[in-house]
Amino acid sequence: MSGIAVSDTSGRGRARRGGGGGAWWAPARVGFAGLALLATAVVPSASATTQPVPAPAGTFAYVANGLAGSLSVIDTADNTVTSTIDVGDDPNGVAVSPDGSLVFVANRLSDTVSLVVPAVGGSLSVPVGDNPVGVAVSPDGARAYVTNTISNNMTVITADEVPPSVIATVHVGTRPQDVAIAPNGTRAYVANLLDGTVAVVDTTTDTLLTAVPVGQLPQGVATSPDGARVYVTNFGDGTVSVIDTATDTVRFTVPIGNDTSPADVAVSRDGTRAYVANFSTDNVSVIDTTANPPAVIATVPVGEEPLGVALAPDGAHAYVTGSMDNSVSVIDTATRTVTRTIGGFAIPLGVAVGTRGVGATPTSLTLTAERTGKGHENGHENGNGNGNGHGNGKESPGVQGARGLTLKARLTVGGRPLEDGSVLFTRDTEVLCADTTDSRGRATCAVRGRPDDDDCYTATFTGDETHAAATATTCTDRRAAAQRTDRKR
């Protein structure tokens, strides 16, 4: 996705029509802010509560609300907004991990990327460069790539660990915008707005290989499923450049229209169609990519000043953000008509679609909270409301005497441990850490410092293709006591 915002760091960017004059334009994408861990030690409660089962499986569209600093979640089954999650300031670009469990958002004015966990409705942030606007995740889900439009570089971060860490920073060109990753993961393609080029980065060495000249003010970038082509929207001259990745040269230039201001592009999974969001003409151009040369075969009216476009995994629908009328248009790609217009957004910019799969086999999760570093405390376990146990209160070797808390979860199926399950640990909606269950079905999270005495902690197994999601919660003494009092009334 590419958003378009006035590049003025003194205040929030505002989308406007046109690309000429003295102003230059830049799309908005999401970034990470620093991870805030707990500051005080906890006393585990004598009772625990049960959280609702995490968000269900399905296909979801994620929309960055540039004005509200939030991410809206659309269930594509009925095209309704199911939740809204806080992220950073002026979120722009959005990308979903291959398994659909994580969403990355570039926060332009926060200089961060938010890592969002839809299953628990929480997020954390990691600092990147100055004015991040574009973000993409590698096909294996191991890396995320964030373009920083003022820093003129791209930050590479780990995308398969919580919290993420910065791996490398690569200079890519002047005012980088959107970024796309080759299907084999070996190349990153970055549109450089003021250079009029697309940077080609070797992702195995995180080095710049070359810069391919394209049209004026390139913004959106997408790769074909076979990796043979890269499609680039040129906001300034109303064209789409088609790059041959074998030679890193422009093979075709597809005219969209002089006054269209194409902002973003998405390519179908079969590679036969490209969908271009035209900012100035309030429509989407459909390109037949199999034609020689590729050509526009249809134009679909959408919301006002569209900035982002993304396709559902099955290719049946395209989701387009209307930044001026705060809408998302749902296009039926078979009939090339808008079948639903969803309202209520706050300057929607980036959009991405992903599928989160959760199987039907029931699982059970228990959680123990143990204070570390001083004294001897008992934790309480809760297994979806039907399995209780007690922690032994021993000091965790991972904390090595530091005052804090160790959260211990155990995941089982039919009473037997489930190995290699991903468990997330949260405090309310704040993501603390993640761990993978071992051969005994156990996962842990060490929290340093002295937590508040009214905190609740949750362990969540988000599920996979075979196993259903599960969750368990334990609270500190004061909140637990209040809950016990409420139950007695």
pLDDT in tens, 390-417: 333 333 333 333 468 899 999 999 999 9
The 10s digit of each residue's pLDDT in 178-226 is 999 999 999 999 999 999 999 999 999 999 999 999 999 999 999 999 9
Strand partners, 346: none
pTM as predicted:
0.79
Residue 421 and residue 437: Cα distance in Å, rounded?
Answer: 5
Residue 440 and residue 394: Cα distance in Å, rounded?
Answer: 18
Q: How many CB atoms lie within 10 A of CB 52?
A: 6
Residue 325 has pLDDT above 50, yes or no: yes
Task: Please say whether the dihedral angle defined by the alpha carbons of residues 222, 159, 175 and 350, taken in this order, is positive or negative.
Answer: positive
Residue 2 has pLDDT above 80, yes or no: no
Indicate the pLDDT class of residue 134, thresholds 50, 70 and 90: very high
* Cα 404 to Cα 28, 163, 204, 425, distances in angstroms: 39, 18, 39, 15
66-80, 107-121, 292-306, 418-432, range with the lowest pLDDT: 418-432
Residue 33 has pLDDT above 60, yes or no: no
The average pLDDT across 64-92 equals 96
Indicate the pLDDT class of residue 451, thresholds 50, 70 and 90: low
Residue 144 has pLDDT above 90, yes or no: yes
Indicate the pLDDT class of residue 53, thresholds 50, 70 and 90: low
Residue 51 has pLDDT above 50, yes or no: no
The 10s digit of each residue's pLDDT in 353-388 is 999 876 778 889 999 988 876 544 333 344 443 333
The 10s digit of each residue's pLDDT in 233-267 is 999 999 999 999 999 999 999 999 999 999 999 99
- Mean residue pLDDT across the chain: 83
Residue 213 and residue 230: Cα distance in Å, rounded?
Answer: 13
* Cα 87 to Cα 32, 112, 309, 329, 347, distances in angstroms: 9, 9, 20, 23, 15
| Assigned token pair, 268 | 């179908």
Q: What is the DSSP string of 374-400?
A: SS----B--STTS---B---PPPTTTT
| Closest among 221, 220, 302, 301 to 261, alpha carbons compared | 220
Q: Residue 470 in contact with residue 359, Cβ under 8 Å?
A: no
- Sequence-separated (6 or more) residues with CB below 8 Å from residue 54: 119, 120, 460, 462, 463, 469, 471
Residue 348 and residue 63: Cα distance in Å, rounded?
Answer: 6
- Sequence-separated (6 or more) residues with CB below 8 Å from residue 427: 38, 451, 455, 456, 457, 458
**How many helices (H) does the chain have, and how many strands (E)?**
1, 38
Indicate the pLDDT class of residue 284, thresholds 50, 70 and 90: very high
Output the 3-class SS for 247-261.
CCEEEEEEECCCCCC
State the alpha helices, DSSP H only, in 352-456: none
Residue 10 has pLDDT above 70, yes or no: no
Model pLDDT, residue 237: 97
What is the maximum alpha-carbon separation in the chain?
A: 75
91-100, 257-266, 387-396, 417-426, range with the lowest pLDDT: 387-396
The average pLDDT across 327-336 equals 98
* Percentage with pLDDT > 90 across the chain: 64
